[in-house]
Amino acid sequence: MTDRAGRRRRVARRVLPPLAVFLLVLGGWTVVSYGLLPPRRRFLLPPVDQVIRVGFLDPDNRAELLDALALTSRVAGTGLAVAVLLGVGLGVLMAQTRWLERAIYPYVVVVQTIPVLALVPLFGFWFGFGFASRVLVCVLLSLFPLVANTLFGIRSVPAAQHQLFDLHRASRWRRLVKLQLPAALPSIFTGLRIAAGGSVIGAVVGDFFFRQGQPGLGILIDMYRSRLAAEQMFAAVLLASALGIAVFVVFGALARWAVGRWHESAE
Amino acid sequence: MTGASEVVTAPAPLLRLAGVTKSFPDGTDAVAGVDLVVRPGELVAVVGPSGCGKSTLLHLVAGLARPSGGTLTRATDRVGYVFQDPTLLPWRTVRRNVELFGELADLPRAERRRRAERVLAAVGLTEFADHRPGQLSGGMRMRAALARALLVEPELFLFDEPFAALDEITRQDMGEELLRLFDQRGFGAIFVTHSVAEAVYLASRVLVMSARPGRVLREIEVAVAHPRRPEFRRTDTFATLVGEVSEALAVGSAR
Ligand SMILES: Nc1ncnc2c1ncn2[C@@H]1O[C@H](COP(=O)(O)OP(=O)(O)OP(=O)(O)O)[C@@H](O)[C@H]1O
Ligand SMILES: [Mg+2]
């Protein structure tokens, strides 16, 4: 009884403060829209209820938004999946031999340093404005944290733990599977969380630059803006933000599930 | 020195070092000409000033490093090694940590399980088999490390200051635990320690090493048969031996 009450109180203590801030923001938004902005200029910040009514409750508009959300999620998800395979693979490879690290690392850093979004027109030019180009943008935006964190995680394995495997002359493969990868998992998950955010940004912002092909959330936002369809634009922006937040929460939970039982950084 | 008649009846040595040296690439001479024989049922304690090459010596014996000179003959591959830190893998449960060497030696799963149950029981960790190292006390972690080494059913045991990080009471408990296992299984062992009392209490022989580069200064026989009882700590023999080892150690460190 008291246990359950205590639990409820703990949950309340965690949920209530951010909820209060959320309500405050909604309140402020409403005050600005209805109170401060004259009706003529209300498109600058359309009231919440209008955004919901026009953007989400109208069946046609909703279908348009959800289709775009589906496409953007698919692009971000595919990009992230490719980046995970490539990034963890590269990290593992680089951790095996110093010269491979020296050979590859500069280029991984280059990919991180160049403004990937500026290359978007080039990708469109080369590969068309379809799915592949959009995925490529996401991969380039999310690769670095995965490579860097995988490499760091593997390199951070204490020498004493390696000695356990030295004692039995364990093969490279066994060492990788039984020691290096599990030890690097918390670090890889940190990279994954950052990479997932990067991939969502790549999918949404990349869209702005494509402006062609099937519309994702970015193209929709841009289109609504040019039509001055403020309510729909806000709905699309909210949806894009929600996607980013959802990805953050999901990958946080995933990290806790995978390594939380033994690693404190996941807490 | 053992008498000639004893040599004939003594079991074949598990380990023989003759003039073993180790220099590191940076020029550090860690071990300079160590002679040492370990037979089954012998527990050899090694004491010496910090940095005199005790850990290096164990590395050489375990094959983690190669001698730079001299000969090292080891008659068994079943070597248990217990480091100063328990070095458990934090993502594995105690049971899976204990099974690690079984996996690396390709023991069948059922055999691994069976042995793990047995060694966990031997160190009194059965109840904690499914805990992770992070949930255990320091003493329990050390027991887990001991169980892990026991899994390979070692004929030769190497201990590198295994109880140094424990409080005095736990340390003595672990000493008793170790003696019990030693009496049951009759392995040969090298036990590196900084505690002269611990060395004399546990060992059949105490090796005193000089400051770096490490050589064997003296070998002091502890002529009290195992099994040892805690009362041994309060005997005159014990006090005399502790004095003798301490004196040799002081001479070695002074140089
Ligand atoms: N890989 C290495 N390269 C160079 N020097 C080393 C290396 N490993 C150990 N040494 C040096 O060799 C000497 C002996 O080291 P070792 O760890 O064997 O000493 P130890 O007797 O175990 O000391 P302690 O009692 O402090 O544990 C030290 O001076 C140490 O600095
Ligand atoms: Mg040492």
Sequence-distant (6+) residues with CB within 8 A of B217 are: B208, B209, B210, B248, B251, B252
Chain centroid offset of residue A115 CA: 18
Q: Which residue of A has its CA nearest to B90?
A: A262
Most A CBs within 10 Å, among B100, B106, B107, B156, to test the A interface: B100
Enumerate residues lining ligand 1, CB below 6 A. B 24, 26, 28, 30, 48, 50-56, 212
Chain centroid offset of residue A67 CA: 19
> Mean pLDDT, chain B, as a whole number?
89
**pLDDT for B251:** 81
> Is residue A264 pLDDT above 80, yes or no?
no
> Is residue B7 pLDDT above 60, yes or no?
no
Confidence of residue B157 (pLDDT cuts 50, 70, 90): very high
Q: Which residues in B lie closer than 8 A to residue A262 (C-beta atoms)?
A: 90-91, 132-134
Its ipTM equals 0.87
Q: Containing H/E element for B32?
A: strand B29-38
Could you write out the DSSP letters of every residue in A107-135?
Answer: HHHHHHHS-GGGGHHHHHHHH-SSHHHHH
What is the rounded average pLDDT of the residues A159-165?
A: 94
**SS3 assignment, position B207:** strand
Q: Are residues A231 and A117 in the same domain?
A: yes
Q: Would you call B83 and A167 a contact, using CB atoms and an 8 Å cutoff?
A: no
Q: Which residue of B has its CA nearest to A179?
A: B89
> Is residue B255 pLDDT above 60, yes or no?
no
> Domain-by-domain residue ranges, chain B?
15-78+156-254, 88-153
Q: Are residues A52 and A36 in the same domain?
A: no
**pLDDT for A129:** 80
Half-sphere exposure of A43 (CA within 13 A, CB side): 11
Q: Are residues A223 and A253 in the same domain?
A: yes
Total domain count, chain A: 2
CATH number at residue A251: 1.10.3720.10
The residue that leads in pLDDT, B1 or A165, is A165
Chain centroid offset of residue A156 CA: 25
Percent of chain B with pLDDT over 90: 58
> Cα of B53 to ligand 2 centre, how many Å?
7
Q: A131 φ, ψ to 5°?
A: -60, -45
Q: Are residues A163 and A174 in the same domain?
A: yes
Q: Are residues A78 and A22 in the same domain?
A: no
Helix axes A120-127, A181-210, angle to 10 degrees: 80
Q: Which residue of B has its CA nearest to A259?
A: B91
Q: Would you call A178 and B100 a contact, using CB atoms and an 8 Å cutoff?
A: yes
Percent of chain A with pLDDT over 70: 98
Cα separations in angstroms, B250 against A29, B54, B209, B255: 80, 17, 10, 9
> Mean pLDDT, chain A, as a whole number?
89
Largest CA distance in chain B: 54
Q: Residue A211 burial (CB < 10 Å; 0-12/13-18/19+)?
A: middle
Q: Which residue shows structure tokens 């000695």?
A: A163
- Of all protein residues, the one whose alpha carbon is nearest to atom 1 of ligand 1 is B24
Nearest-5° Cα angle at B165, B163 to B166: 70
* Radius of gyration for chain A, computed over Cα atoms and rounded to the nearest angstrom: 23
B1-15, B23-37, B142-156, B181-195, range with the lowest pLDDT:
B1-15
**pLDDT for B111:** 95
Both tokens of residue B175? 């000493």
- Of all protein residues, the one whose alpha carbon is nearest to atom 24 of ligand 1 is B50
Q: Are residues A228 and A137 in the same domain?
A: yes
For A163-200, the pLDDT digits (tens) are 999 999 999 999 999 999 999 999 999 999 999 999 99
- Of all protein residues, the one whose alpha carbon is nearest to atom 3 of ligand 1 is B24
**SS3 assignment, position B27:** coil
Q: Specify which residues B160 forms β-bridges with.
A: B192
Q: Which CATH class is domain B15-78+156-254?
A: alpha beta
Q: Are residues A133 and A2 in the same domain?
A: no
Q: Would you call A185 and B91 a contact, using CB atoms and an 8 Å cutoff?
A: yes
What is the rounded average pLDDT of the residues A78-89?
A: 96
Range of the domain at A106: 47-266
Q: Are residues A20 and A96 in the same domain?
A: no
